[in-house]
Structure 1
Amino acid sequence: MMILNNLCNEAEIENVTVNPEVTVEKANQFITEVKSFIPKLIDFGIKAVIALIIFIVGRFVIKFILKCIGRFFEKSKLDTGVRNFLNSFIKILLYIILLIIMLDTVGVKTTSFVAVLGTASLAIGLSLQGSLANFAGGVLILILKPFMIGDYIVVNSAGVEGTVNKIDIFYTTIISPDNKRIVIPNGNLSNSSIINCTALGKRRVDIKIGISYDSDIEKAKKIALDTVNQIDLVIEKENSFTFVESLDESQITIGIWAYCNSADYLKTKYLINEKVRMAYKKNDIEIPYNQLVVHMN
């Protein structure tokens, strides 16, 4: 049996014939492909070296540009958060430009790369629309500085007011007079009218007090003015002023203007109300109030 198998194998080997022409043709084809590939390889190598040189020079140029921008930011007295953000943004942008130049040098078509990058940026922008609005609002607030930490602001659109405690890139935190922590998105703040009550360092306190029609108006005005000017928290006393605000149905409304430091506003306002009321009571100046009269037949 083994002898039979050996005979069969020898027969198969004898049937396998080698065609020299086919072998030579394939060898020539391989050599031709190698020869045609070598110039492309050399060309790519040259471009790669040029791209590497561009990268090295580009890094040096980027560092120089960022150094110049950093000096400019220091002189501009921008907020630290804004400086860091703008510096990082410009750095990323410059490196993206450098990458595109390198790819174009090597021979990669950058038009499709830029298109993909633009599409990705658009998709990210749409998905983070609210956050980007808050981010842009935070940058505007930090650059334009409509208010600063420690300022007392009134946000009409949100119906809140308080002292600015913290300004972040996305949110601003204020502390209300009753010690509540309020966090407001910067996008809303940048699109709202904001009253900065402490920007000028002083505030005018406006008080309205009603007196009866039987009271002496001049006497009431003088008592109110003298009382206000005796309060230590009142500044620029020469600018304090009392006047007849209006003639109402059941009272004459006396207006009082007085100035104080912004930090003392509420304390001064409440103190004026208390002191003027006590002075009117002492000098028999009647402050009318609504009364219910019931007639019994």
Structure 2
Amino acid sequence: MEYLEVLAALTTEERISIGVIEKFLQELPEKAWHLGTRVLLSVIVFMVGVQLIKVIRKIVKKSLVRGHADKGVIQFIDSFLKAALYAVLIITIASGFGLDAASILALLGSAGVAIGLAIQGSLSNFVGGVLILLIKPFKVGDYIKEDTNGNEGSVKEIELFYTKLITPDNKIIVLPNGTLANSSLTNVTACDKRRMDITVRIPYTADIKLAKEVLEQVLKNEEAVLKDQEHFAYANELGDAFVSIGVRCWFTMEDFWQGKWRVTENIKYALDEAGVSIFAPQMEITLKEKCE
């Protein structure tokens, strides 16, 4: 009776509000159940989708490997496929909560200009990655020097937006694809062989002819020197107090550094054995006595 009396004393608007609240409380368990079910299904869909994406990526990778695709192309396509499949998965899960996929795509399309301005750097890197794969200024495994900032290293990965280099001392350098595509760079290992040039300075009192013969013999004794390519010693410069002797030869790219280090070391030993000294700058100091 008290409840009915209180209800009779309320206005129409207040009665409607109470009715809405009662209806909400009555429907709350059912709505919570449906929401919990959707969340659980979304979690299951996400977990299954992640595994499915891994399987699809693995199948595509194997197909590209069988087709002898370049390693950089495989890495780039894998990165793109991963991003696209995860986007589809997220839209699918959002649709399960009542969001229309067409509405989402329309919203993204209408906001295309704003999104484009916001991610123009990423778009530039994406286009740069495509250009790198098409033009192929370098590939995975090449040693490159980026001329703008002086970064250098072996190309480890060419991804969707970035290229990773590994330095000789085992550091990772991450460079935007847009920067690499729009700046000059040097591909050190693009060719199968590389020329070595070393300069040796000897004093004017030394026998130039003998020095050249000794240096050329060092090149002949080095197995890694390509004998079918030019390899010789030559008078390079007449300095103020020395004669500069140049040494030139060719190595395969794999043997270059080890070969250069051996040749440099053996040049010193061979010149010492032949009695040809290497020029070393000398400084003369004159002491003057102070007059009293």
Q: TM-score, normalised by structure 2?
A: 0.61
Question: What is aligned with 2:192?
Answer: 201
Which residue is equivalent to 1:7? none
Counterpart of 1:35 in structure 2 is: none
The aligned length equals 204
Change (3 A) 1:188 1:126: same
Larger Rg: 1
TM-aligned CA deviation for residue 245 of structure 1: 1.8
Displacement of 1:117: 6.2
The 4+ residue runs of structure 1 with deviation greater than 6 A are 84-90, 114-117
Alpha-carbon RMSD: 3.1
Give the aligned residue type for 2:252. N
Of the candidates 164, 173, 181, which is equivalent to residue 190 of structure 1?
181
Q: How many Å separate the matches in 2 of 1:165 and 1:76?
A: 18
Mapped to 1, the partners of 2:241 and 2:113 lie a distance apart of 65
Q: CA 1:237/1:271 → structure 2, altered by over 3 Å: closer, same or farther?
A: farther
CA distance in 2, matches of 1:178, 1:229: 32
Are 1:179 and 2:170 matched, yes or no?
yes
Aligned twin of 2:252:
261
For 1:170, the equivalent position in structure 2 comes to 161
Task: Tell me the CA shift for residue 83 of structure 1.
Answer: 5.2
Say whether the 8 Å CA contact 1:237–1:258 is kept in structure 2: no
1:290 and 2:284 matched: no
The answer to whether 1:80 aligns with 2:74 is yes
Aligned to 1:229: 220
Residues 188-216 of structure 1 deviation map (CA, whole Å, 9 limit, x = unaligned): 11112121121111111111111111112
Tell me the CA shift for residue 236 of structure 1: 3.0
Q: Does 1:211 align with 2:202?
A: yes
Per the alignment, residue 276 of structure 1 pairs with: 267
Aligned partner (choices 238, 245, 249) of residue 240 of structure 2: 249
Q: Structure 1 unaligned segments of length 5 or more: list them.
A: 1-70, 91-113
Is the partner of 1:239 in helix, strand or coil?
Answer: coil
Deviations 1:213-267 (A, max 9, x none): 1112222112111102211222235521221222222221111111111122222
The separation in 2 between residues aligned to 1:82 and 1:167, in whole angstroms, is: 6
Distance across 2 between alignment mates of 1:144 and 1:84: 19
Identity score, percent: 37
- Give 1:275 deviation, angstroms: 0.8
Per-residue deviation at 1:178?
2.4
Distance 1:259 1:190, change over 3 A: same
Is the 1:82–1:143 Cα contact (8 Å) retained in structure 2? no
Superposed, which structure 2 residues align to 1:37-56 within 5 Å?
none
CA-CA distance at 1:274 after TM superposition: 0.9
Q: Report whether the alignment pairs 1:135 with 2:126.
A: yes
- Secondary structure of 1:147's counterpart equals coil
Give a deviation string over 1:24-53, Cα, whole Å, max 9, x none: xxxxxxxxxxxxxxxxxxxxxxxxxxxxxx
* Structure 2: tracts of 5 or more residues without a match: 1-62, 85-104
CA distance in 2, matches of 1:205, 1:199: 16
CA 1:294 to 1:85, structure 2 compared with 1: closer, same or farther past 3 Å? closer
Deviation at 1:138, TM superposition (A): 1.1
After TM superposition, list the pairs within 5 Å mapping 1:99-110 onto structure 2.
none
- Rate the CA distance shift 1:119–1:249 in 2: closer, same or farther, 3 A: farther
Kindly tell me: are residues 240 and 189 of structure 1, through their superposed partners in 2, closer, same or farther at Cα, counting changes over 3 Å?
A: same
| Aligned-partner SS, 2:111 | helix
Task: Provide the rounded CA distance (Å) in 1 between the counterparts of 2:150 and 2:194.
Answer: 20
Give the structure 2 partner of residue 53 of structure 1.
none
- TM-score normalised by L of structure 1: 0.60
- 1:228 is paired with a residue of what secondary structure? helix
